Amino acid sequence: MSSDSSHDSGYKLLFSHAQVVEDLLRGFVPEDWVAELDFTTLEKVSGSYVSDDLRDREDDIIWRVRRQGQWLYVYVLLEFQSRVDPWMALRVMVYTGLLYQDLIKTGEVRRGQKLPPVFPLVLYNGRQRWNAARDVSELIDLLPGSLKRYHPAHRYFLLDESAVGEEHLSDRQNTVTSIIRLETSAVPADVRQAVSQLQQRLQGPQYASLRRAFVVWINRIVLRRLMPGQEVPEVNELQEIDTMLAETVEEWTRQWKADGLQQGRLQGLQEGRQEGLREGLREGLQVGIQQGLLRGERVLLQKQLERRFGALPPWVSERLAQATPEQLEAWGLDLLDAADLGALFQTG
């Protein structure tokens, strides 16, 4: 699991609310049996049903809901690893088995009764696309002849946030849609839009606890990721977050641009002096300083682009290498507002 325990605990708090679990199943599990669920019976499985082995799985949440009069257990595994776990199917099978053992041990399932169905769902928010086997049968060598009947099979459902297309994020009433949008927001305007949707969706005293969970998560994770190094004031309501963003995003943006330009000038001056000393015999100290300053601005802008958009395609380096000081300054000022690389360099 990720070392960022704040992110993990914040996510667990969100998915500890019945409305979020209902939205997860209704909006992102396209299977016929979901329509048969009685969501008024949705309840979080208490610790009395869970063994020490499962309680150690701090990022997993177990719910149950009635389907045609019988319980269906929903096992949500919150996966925050940066790398895909190739053995996830085996882990899911083990956790499901532990859950069944606990239901028997606590008397929830008695002798002569059948075990209830379990729906394992892995919620993954890493940047790398999920490519691991989704059924444990894919991890085991095929058995020959009649031994095939002993080949185990156990499948889990995957929600890979990075693979969710825009067409699946149109439901403004779905809280999981807002979670995914907040996770993937690249600019403050996107955060404001998602917060506004949550405000409209979660009105009323019955959502007070869920609103607070969103506020805590947005404050401690989303805004600090979006504005690293900035002071983010603690607020208590979604409306306060929206107001705070409206009042301070412009100031943050202006300060970020100013800091970036100042850092570029200082770095460029330092590199210019060093390069000027080396090339002073041929071109003179002034030329060296000017070239070093320009190079420093290019290096800084490239680092800012990599931090904002990730790995850069080769054509970006070519554009930076050929850019004039005026172009570099213009791109640096437009960096925060651009939706992607194409939009940024069209402005330059």
pLDDT at 20 over 90: yes
3-state secondary structure 43-63: EECCHHHCCHHHHCCCCEEEE
- Better-scored residue on pLDDT, 31 or 230: 31
Across 81-85, 158-162, 257-261, the highest mean pLDDT is recorded for: 158-162
- Give the model confidence (pLDDT) of 92-133 as tens digits: 999 999 999 999 998 999 999 999 999 999 999 888 899 999
Rank 154-158, 206-210, 257-261, 317-321 by mean pLDDT and report only the highest: 154-158
pLDDT of residue 258: 64
Helix or strand (DSSP H, E) at 281: helix 238-283
Place of tokens 């053995």: 87
pLDDT in tens, 72-84: 999 999 887 778 9
- Chain centroid to Cα 283, Å, comes to 51
When pLDDT is cut at 50, 70 and 90, the band that residue 3 belongs to is very low
Which of 158, 335, 205 is CA-nearest to residue 257? 335
Choose among 290, 303, 291, 289: nearest CA to 331: 303
CA atoms within 13 A on the CB side of 146: 0
* pTM exceeds cut of 0.95: no
Q: How far from 315 is each of 61, 121, 240, 310, CA to CA, in Å? A: 45, 40, 42, 14
What is the pairing mode between strands 70-79 and 60-67?
antiparallel
Given a contact cutoff of 8 angstroms between Cβ atoms, the answer to whether 183 and 191 are in contact is no
